Amino acid sequence: ETGVTQSPTHLIKTRGQQVTLRCSSQSGHNTVSWYQQALGQGPQFIFQYYREEENGRGNFPPRFSGLQFPNYSSELNVNALELDDSALYLCASSPTATLYGYTFGSGTRLTVV
């Protein structure tokens, strides 16, 4: 299947817990990036992976971490969840660093209670 797919679509966690979000990149895309989109805001860059290495990071604390696998799928892990982590988390993939733009997934809606 082409396109970027994310799982799960919705998730409810308790403050202090840990969460893992998953993303399958579009076929042929070796770059994946993650974004946090709070209500009423534009997406904010968390980090980017290229060929399994993190090669860019936004202004997010270390409890936000990630992985990219040999098949270019990716995970976003958030430890010690806080209420402010409630947001839509978007994954996007690209065939290279960015000249062609990114293809976005539908996102995972995370609610921390």
Partner 1 sequence: AQRVTQPEKLLSVFKGAPVELKCNYSYSGSPELFWYVQYSRQRLQLLLRHISRESIKGFTADLNKGETSFHLKKPFAQEEDSAMYYCALSGRSGAGSYQLTFGKGTKLSVIP
* Interface residues toward partner 1, by CB under 8 A: 33, 35, 40-45, 48, 50, 55-58, 90, 92, 97-107
Residue 19 or 46: the one with the smaller Cβ distance to partner 1 is 46
Pull the structure tokens for residue 68.
């990219």
C-alpha span between 10 and 86 (Å, rounded): 11
Residue type, 94: S
Sign of CA dihedral 6, 97, 48, 90: negative
Please, are residues 20 and 77 in contact by the beta-carbon 8 Å criterion?
A: yes
Q: Is the CB of 81 or the CB of 110 nearer to partner 1?
A: 110
List all residues 6 or more positions away from 97 whose beta carbon is below 8 Å from its beta carbon.
Answer: 31, 50
CB of 33 to partner 1, least distance (A): 7
By C-beta, is 86 or 93 nearer to partner 1?
Answer: 93
CB of 43 to partner 1, least distance (A): 5
Q: How far is the CB of 50 from partner 1 (least distance, A)?
A: 7
* Smallest distance, partner 1 to C-beta of residue 103, A: 7
